[in-house]
Structure 1
Amino acid sequence: MVSLQNQFLGKDSPLSLTTFHFEPDPWGYPFSESHELVLDGDYPRYVALKPDGTFALTDLSTGPFSADLDGDGTYVTTSAFTVDCDGFVQIFTEAPLIDRNDPTFPWQVTTDPAVGGTTINQPLSPDDFIKVLPRLRRSRWERRADGADGADGGDDAGNSGPAYPRCPAAPTGLVSTVRPGARQPMANGTCAQMGGAKVPNFDFTGCCNAHDLCFDNCDTGTFDSCNSVMGSCIASTCDQKYPGVAQAAQWAACRISGASYAFATRAFAGDSFYASNSARCTCRCGDLNTSLCSASASGSALQCVNVGLGLDANNCGGCGRQCPKGTTCKGSNGCGCPGDQCGDVCLSLQDNPNNCGACGNVCASGICFLGDCFTPPNVQLVQNGRFDNVVGTTAPPWKVASAVGGATIDFNADGDANIFHNSAAINLPAGYPSFSLAQTIQLKPRTAYGVNFKARRIGGSGPCTVSVNMNGNPVSGDQDIEPDEDVFRAFGGNYISGATSNTVISITAHCTRTTGMSIIRVDDVNVYAV
């Protein structure tokens, strides 16, 4: 009784109500619809119906049959009650004092002990009907939110959070807001549908309308908070309607009915909440500086991204704006080169011989060092760098370091480029060919050197590169070389440090997935101290 009282009347209620509960027909007849009305207490006491329509309390149950329990010739029946679908108590008996067309049973509420007992078939006010309460079992969503569901390892195991969230949990940081073009907030009778005739004697329309408008409030109205506010509103309505001690019973009935009303709404209004959510609300990132963008280039997931910070190369300055390879995101300015830039090409003005120190500044020597053109002294560390000394099919001291995919080399003049001295012609068939030409040179330890050469490509289709290696280790990255260049292009900015006196320098040409024959001519290989 204490638990029931706290749930429906509030913990500070001055009343201590006598409460009853229903028990099924103890005889268990399949056709029986009747229940017994039992007084809550330390031991059961049954409400027994007398032939004259009055009631008495008895320690024994008669079931659906009449019995003389006291031996005074008065036959009573305990299994005589049922409840209709609208929550009204009815008497289930064949006694002639009951109107079979309307068996609803009113129980007169009174604080006058002189009246005594109860009467039936007497016109009463609507507030005097007996109040029947549902069993307050929390909804599945409420138990799931508390972590109660899923304890057996079922589908709900480990779930927690609001019973009916407006926005999905992922991506994190989403908040609800009014969708552009949404209808205006309105009271649509949702909570009235939840309570219906089960609490017909009290008017909670104002609370219901406020509850519906709360469901339509995308910014602050949550399922739990709207239901909580409605419960407080109903309690306040009862307090205002029945303020005096003389109306304490009516106040208690109002509070109990209101709690039943609020419970029904809380347990069954989830679909209505989501209907309001779909009609009026949408989700956005809580941080107004972020946008809802794809988390990856494939667009398989979403996340809240600050597109202006430049931290996401897939959403640079705007959702879906991906930076090309070799560039970086520079926030709201979009993609750019990590270093220097000339036109639409990323480069370094410190070592680019065609853009040395400034875009368009070409070094005649093909050497750019720390942003200045550099002409090396006339000291030839590389021997036969112009391939003028040819013996048979070789150009000593150059040696073939590797040849892959049918690659070969010739040494002859390049009339197409108007250079009539010899150059190395590396022949690269279609596919994945590679060729390295190397020689050993003498370097001073702890001395910095620069490496430069010239090259051009004739024919073929597909990507090819040239690179410089020292003792098998890369000195430069793979540098692209395009086909059908009529003149030689300078390749420089490759710096090495003399670690040992005997150092193997190699020039490597490599192609990937090419078609047709590609010929890469190499000339003027030079290593110089800087």
Structure 2
Amino acid sequence: MRLPLLLALTASAGLASAKKCKPRPSSASLASVSSVGSSSLEPSHMSEPSSSVQSASVSSSGGVSSASGSVASSGISSAPSSVVSSASSSAAASSSAAPPTPKQICQVQGSRAATPLHESDLVSHNGYIGCKALCAAQQGCQSFSFQVMTGGYCKLYSEPTWTDIKEGKTGPTWFFDLDCASPVVVGPTINKFAIPGGPAPTDSVPKVPGPVVVPPAYTPPSPTLVSSDSPPYVPSGPQSKPTDDNEFMATYTYSQYELPTVVDEGYPPVTTGIPLQSGEPLPCVLSAGQDHPFTLLNEMYIPLVSRTGSIGPMLQPTEAPAPDDPILKPLEMVLPPFYLKPVAGHSDVYDMVYEQTGEFVAWNSNGEVTLVPSSTGPLLAGDVITSVFSFDCMGTIFVTIASNKYQWSTKGQSCSITEASTPKNNMKALPVNFPKPPPLTNEKVKRAAELLAKAKELKGSKQMKRVNTNDQEPQCPSQPPGLFSGTKPDYEMDQGNFCEDLNKWWGLSPFDFDVACGLQSLCFDQCSGWSFAGCTAIFTAAMYATCLNEFDNWWDVLTAAACTAQVHVFTGFAWSGTGKNLYNKANKAMCRCFCGNPPDTCVYLNDKGEMTDDFYCANLHSDDDNNCGNCGRLCGANSACNGGECGCPKNSHQCGTTCLDLRNNPNHCGKCDNPCDPKYCIGGECYAPKPDECAPDQAVWNGKFEVWSPSFKNWTFAAFPGTTLGKDKNMELLATDYTWQAGQPAVSAVGFKATNIQQGGFHLLVTQKNVKMCPGFNYELKFNLGYVNEVNGAGVTSNADCKVRWLTGPPSSPDVNDGYRSSGWYTIGASNPTYKTFGPWAVGNVVEGEKGVTKVKADLFVELSAVVSCFQPVGGHGNFIMTDIQMNPVGFVGKRSETFGNETLSIPMIEKAGVKGTDMEALLKSYTPEFEVVALSGKNLGRK
């Protein structure tokens, strides 16, 4: 518990003066025992060898005989009291002679006449370590004594021992001066219990508290619309000119409009974070019923065990037990369980049943605790009553008799129940089926003990170290994503201190768990990287380490058992709803959930404009149209958010508060305040139309097949009779990224895959309509073909030859021209495994009236067609690609872009007249590829 030792000592004075329990004597339980044992306590230091230290057996009236009915089921018994002390042969001198004045006396038996400076009956003080620590903390204390027996006292004296010691051969009391070294204790040591893994220790220890989360700076949006000018428009390349100026002039339009006002100004973000989620509550540690057994502990955490006809505190042996005695293993000790049994017709009181015998714990009219064979209900039967017990979620046992409150207390080997207006809740239930902590290896306990030792040096400095853990528990909701738990600016530390919270129920602990509790509270105060399970495992290890550090020898058995019992209680509660609730309480006081990316925390509003528990993350200084500069701030129609301010949409430009397009606005052509005369603007440049002229340019659009969804834009594919197109058919078309040589960038292309070529081959038609060829200009066509021997990193069979030829219209069969202009065949495949540019095919100049040529105003158009055939060998497989198809006017340098800024030009789509003598639509069934981009490779091929 996080209490200085001095505070615990002050409290002990009050406990020592409290009303004592009434013993219930019996010939069996209080039989005087006197015997000589084989173990001894030897003087560890005397300044004068001739000092009168006598060797004698010790008899005690406080022991319990083997017939006393102590805990048979657990293998725990109180041994006969016998302590043998040996001294030098000079000890036979008369004790009446005035002894020399030694510097100090250590570990001698006897008695003193001096009035003690202070007394304590706390179990934690009933031994050398505890009593010496009490003396060291008490001003004026120079010596101390304690009794090796249950109920023994620690007494402090203001004078050294030698001033009034009367040494003797009997008695359970041992005397020491304050400066004595550790005593010599003959007999077995307490078994260093094997702590049943847990979190892996780490040397990474955080500061306290964790770094405070500093929310992003909040800059409110401008209260008025921002007036600004867009930078000048910079074309990405040569701009396309109209194909028909007459049509261009007739259809030329542009638009501009003033920015609208903001629809909703919204509200600022929450900068203090959002409370963490609490998680699922855990159950109480104690419930009624036989399936909820518990060990009963008194005010000093000493277990209550059986007596003849009664129960009482477990007893301290008065001489060294055998090395294999179960009492030397306090952690593994099996204690007799009790349980609370509901009483028919009553929901506020229970019977307490001693499970081993089935007897009922009862109160008699003398205020004594006894065991009876059956329940009396909540009414007195004779002079006893059983149905008087109740409990709370913390496992505290209450006693109520006839609506009056009573206090259950213990003293020595007996206990009593007496009326009290404000009773202390002394009795505690330690459930047998308490939540079990993760296993902790001795290594981890050792590590906790090391941290404990360091922490004691730093006690109160808030720099206590602890063990880390890798297990995590979600502290923030999973939605919206990206939330993290961080320390809030107005944090409150130490709100989840487990031990201080338990003080509200049980008062001060007889043991000093100050450091362990400090480690636990410090762990709960961290907002990231420290989970409930990890912190509780640290607390568990530190609590066990406290007991291990303090109690070693057999005369500390009862103290160690009580310490271990308290560890069981506290760590059991720590793993229950009590600990989880405190973890959540600490989180609430220390931590909040913050948005990571985007950084601003916005909370939804209800229909009354009030903030709700629902929230989301936003970047108020980005381009979020729903949260422009403020949470929920909405720009007007036809406007957009730009860096947290409402402005023109991204696909437009702004001059002042006017939205427009610098690419086509004749008043602001290319830049603000740049008017055109005449008033025509194309691609950010002023344009003077020339009606009735055809503008020559590269005529094929999407010649690299970069635009392919849902089909290759501007291209159509059809199969000649005898060929089927599609996946797992005769021929398949693929949208590809083709790498023609190692280390070279991939190019976009259309892939052709012919499978199991049949006699006569497979044939398909590739066409693009409305390819413009201006009158009087000669044109040349060129294109790239590439051989493929690898698909998606895996080699493929490609042992066939395929060929391509171009025409100015679609032929009726693969090998005829039908009056169209035609190129020769270009071969790609096993006989020509390459990637290169084929052509140019000199198309020449086409004229009006020629087959396949259509005239629209001043322009001529053809339907550019390619016949693709894979023809040999029979059963072979062909893989190749086609890309970069261009139809250029001879002498024209450059490449036409069919875009107007970022927008596609409207190219008139002209319906082709039917071909005389052939129904092409019936002959060629249109095919739309099922696209999936694949990576094709022409590995190890050089460009030719």
State the TM-score bracket (shorter-chain normalisation): 0.3 to 0.5
Higher relative contact order (CA 8 A, sep 6+): 2
TM-score by length of 2: 0.27
TM-score by length of 1: 0.44
